[in-house]
Structure formats: C-alpha cells, structure tokens
Structure 1
C-alpha cells in the first residue's frame, strides 16, 4: 500500500508538471491542434448521402487516436526512455519500487490523455454543429468508453515499452499501430473495407474505442454506416474489458522480466548506443 500511495503521488506530480509546463503541454497537443485545423477546413463538406458535417464526423476518430497515441505509445516511450537513462534501475533498488513506478506512470499518462481529450473536445463542440452533446446519455457513454479504452490500451503500452529493445524499436512499433488505425474505421466507415479486414480490425481494441466514441458523440442515424447498423455497446464493453483484463495480467509479468535484465552495464550500453546514434 505504501508503494501504491507513493506511485499515486509520483503520478500526480508528473502529470501536474506536464500539464503546467507550456513546452511539455504543447509537445502533447500540437498534433491534435493540426488535426482540429484540418477538421475545421472540412466543416463545409458533408458525409456522402447525408447533410452531416464531415469535420464533425471526424471528431470522435481524433479523440480515439489521442487515446491510442498519448496513452499507449506515450507510456511505451516513457518506459523505454527511463530504462535507458537508469530510472528503472534506481526504482529496482527501492523496496516495491517497480510497483510504485508503474502506478505512477499509469496515473500520469492517463491524466495527460484525459487532459488532451478534454482540450480537444471543448473547441470541437464549439466549432462543429451536429455533435450530440445535449443529451445526458452522450456523456455517460463517453465516460465509460474513455475509461475502458484507457484500461485496455495503457497496459499494452507498458508491455510494448518493456519488450522494446531501445528507442529505435519504438519507431518501428508505431508503424503497425498506424496500420491498425487505418483499418479500424477511425476516420471512415469500416464497412467500406473488405470483410476479412473488418474481421481483423474487430479483434483489436482500437476499432471498439473508435466505435464507442462515435456512439457517444454522433447522432444515432449515423449508426447505419456501422457493422450491423448498430453501435453494439455490449460487444464494445466485452472486447475492451477482455483486453483490459489481458493487459493487466500480462503487463506485470513482462515488467518483472524487464527489471531483472536491467543492470548498470545494460544502462551504460544503452547510453553509449544513444550517444553514438
């Protein structure tokens, strides 16, 4: 319990530092600001076959991408960086230090992700017409989808950071993540893709996160563009919940194995490799 308490405090300190530092905050937000500008230029165009704004239709997708990149890839990058600079080795020397470290990282990255989502959602609501923000069910659905999405993706970020051999490998990991985003219907209806691609996309949590976000923020009439003409809330809960359970079962095992391999020699070798690169 002491380790968990220390981790919660560490996570809050890290989150507060990032959110109150202009440079740190801008580093988290600039890709999404660009995305918001692009969506704004599309506000006059409509989804084919409807009078609904194409820019507004893209808002849930952007919010889903924020969760994937900030929560999943952000945590994996942090773990890889701090393994190479010796932070993990220092945590390993403290009783229950790894437990506190992991709790802190999950708290800080979750906080940053939620902050980025809110900072993008507020101007989107003000700029785009048609988003279903006036009903209570919108916010109930949005909260549970965001919570389940974070629970499903953040542990995967920890696993990726643990198994990555170095900073260069994180760049390689982003390639399949981008491919997964491309086939998951984040920016356009997945029903336009071949059925075998739809089947693959539905295995992973990214598709269900995007579907849940769309179900919360878009009018119910747009569900006709989805598989089965439905938002499929029960399936969303089931798949995201299953990935969350799997992630929390695997992540501690992988992290323990990673810390066993962390030594002063490996940290020095990683630093030399980084400096030479």
Structure 2
C-alpha cells in the first residue's frame, strides 16, 4: 500500500471537512433535517411512553443518532461518488498515480468525520433541550464509541458500493426506501410497537442495531424494559453490524476497482448526454 497516497487522502479529507464546516449552504444541508427533528421532539418532550418514565422524545434522541450514522454514512458517500463520476472528478483522480487510493481515502475520512461531528453536535443539543440522555460513566462512553465505529464500518462500504453502480436519478429514488427503513427500525418509536413481521424486517438492517446500541449507551438502565426481550443485546448488535461490515468490506474493493476501470472520457460524456436528455 502506498503510504504517500494514504497521507494525501487524509489531507484531502481534512480539507473537505474544513470546507464543509465553513460553507453555509453545506452546513444547512448537514443540519437542517436533524434540527427540524429535534424541534419536533422538543414539542413531544412532555408526552410519556407508557410506564417507562421517559418521554417519547427522550427515547427518540438516541435513535436519531443511530439514524444519522446509518443515513449519512451510507447516503452521503453514495451521493458524492455519483456526482464525482458524472462531473469528471473521479476521472481526474484516476489520471494521477495512486490518485484513486487518495481519492477514496479522502472521501471516507470526510464522510466518517462529518457523521461523527453531526452525532456529537446533535447529542449535545438534545441533552440540553430534551434531556434523558447522558454519557456519565466509562461503560456508557465505551459503548457509545464502539457503536459509532462498528456502525460506520457497517454502512460506509455499502455507500461506496451503491455509489459505484447507481446514477443521479436512481440515487435520489433511494432516499424514500431509506426513510421507510428508518420508520420500521425503531429510530423514532420503540420497535416493540410495530407488528411482528415489521420487527423482523427492521432487525435485518443496520439501522435498528445502531439505534439499539445508542439507547443502551445513553438511556437509564431500566429503559431496557421496552426493548425486545428486555435486553440491550450487545452481542447481537456486534454480530449483525459486524456481518454487514465484513460483507461490505469484501465486496466494496472489487466493485470500486471495476468502476474505476470503466471510467473514461467516453463514459463520462455518455452520462452527461443522458442527463441532458432527462433534463429536457
């Protein structure tokens, strides 16, 4: 592995992250949806969930953090790969020796760092205006950290895979299925309130386990009573997220190499022509 390409990629990721947090439109795009969601949850802070002793809003904040990791880790990387393929950025990176290694390293660093930054900021705001969440013990901090790390490993490779095979139109259409998946994954409401078959579907995908892991780190211990089996299921969380990570990490390099090999001036021109035809 070329260490100079990795260093260049790390530097590129740092530059992209700095641009993100110093550009107003990018910041609005990054935090608008979480801000609206927190606003809605703030209005629900007095609505209690059953006899749990916690409000619906307090239960939803950790799930929101899990959703941020899943959605941003996957869709943000997917979207940037699609756009960079179509505007020629990827082709220019390919023309530079080891440029693809630096390019992908930079995108992964920028996407992961952006997701983590968004999680930390939303968590801090949620603690202040809604409450119910805390990181006051070593165990809670440790759980929070490994859920974030394994969660990103579980979703980032799939963002790269989908970004290598989809175009702008199909990438946009993927937004609705992802939002639907969030709705059945217990992100905003305990999954135990859903029908059994929807619970089964939700547990296949990383979003449910990211939300569960976040709740186990941030909520009081007795909140486990509203979870399936009245357990935080840490081993199952590691197993499911680990399977998604391993499969994704095995497939992603193959798909990315093939995608990079197909990139040329002719393929980029063809994509632009199709895009123009759709526009008119």
TM above 0.5, yes or no, is yes
- What is the alpha-carbon distance in structure 1 between the residues aligned to residue 132 and residue 90 of structure 2? 47
Residue of structure 1 equivalent to 2:258: 257
In the TM superposition, residue 272 of structure 1 has moved relative to its aligned partner by 2.9
In the TM superposition, residue 138 of structure 1 has moved relative to its aligned partner by 1.8
How big is each residue's C-alpha offset from its partner over 1:14-45, in whole Å with a ceiling of 9 and x where there is no partner?
11111122221122111111111111111111
Residue of structure 2 equivalent to 1:101: 103
Structure 1 stretches of at least 4 aligned residues deviating more than 4 Å after TM superposition: none
- What is the alpha-carbon distance in structure 1 between the residues aligned to residue 25 and residue 130 of structure 2? 28
Verify the 8 A CA contact 1:72 1:153 in the aligned structure 2.
yes
Q: Which moved more, 1:131-140 or 1:183-192?
A: 131-140
Unaligned runs of 5+ in 2: none
Verify the 8 A CA contact 2:127 2:134 in the aligned structure 1.
no
Residue of structure 2 equivalent to 1:195: 196
In the TM superposition, residue 76 of structure 1 has moved relative to its aligned partner by 0.2
Q: Which moved more, 1:127-136 or 1:203-212?
A: 127-136
How big is each residue's C-alpha offset from its partner over 1:80-139, in whole Å with a ceiling of 9 and x where there is no partner?
000000111111222222121111100000111111111111111112232233333222
- What is the alpha-carbon distance in structure 2 between the residues aligned to residue 129 and residue 258 of structure 1? 46
In the TM superposition, residue 213 of structure 1 has moved relative to its aligned partner by 0.7
Residue of structure 1 equivalent to 2:207: 206
In the TM superposition, residue 170 of structure 1 has moved relative to its aligned partner by 0.6
SS of corresponding position for 1:8 = helix
SS of corresponding position for 2:21 = helix
- What is the alpha-carbon distance in structure 2 between the residues aligned to residue 69 and residue 237 of structure 1? 19
In the TM superposition, residue 199 of structure 1 has moved relative to its aligned partner by 2.3
Q: Which moved more, 1:147-156 or 1:14-23?
A: 14-23
Unaligned runs of 5+ in 1: none
Q: Which moved more, 1:62-71 or 1:155-164?
A: 62-71
In the TM superposition, residue 197 of structure 1 has moved relative to its aligned partner by 2.5
Number of residue equivalences: 276
* 1:28-43 alignment runs, 5 A limit: 28-43=30-45
Residue of structure 2 equivalent to 1:245: 246
Residue of structure 1 equivalent to 2:86: 84
- Tell me the TM-score normalized by structure 2: 0.94
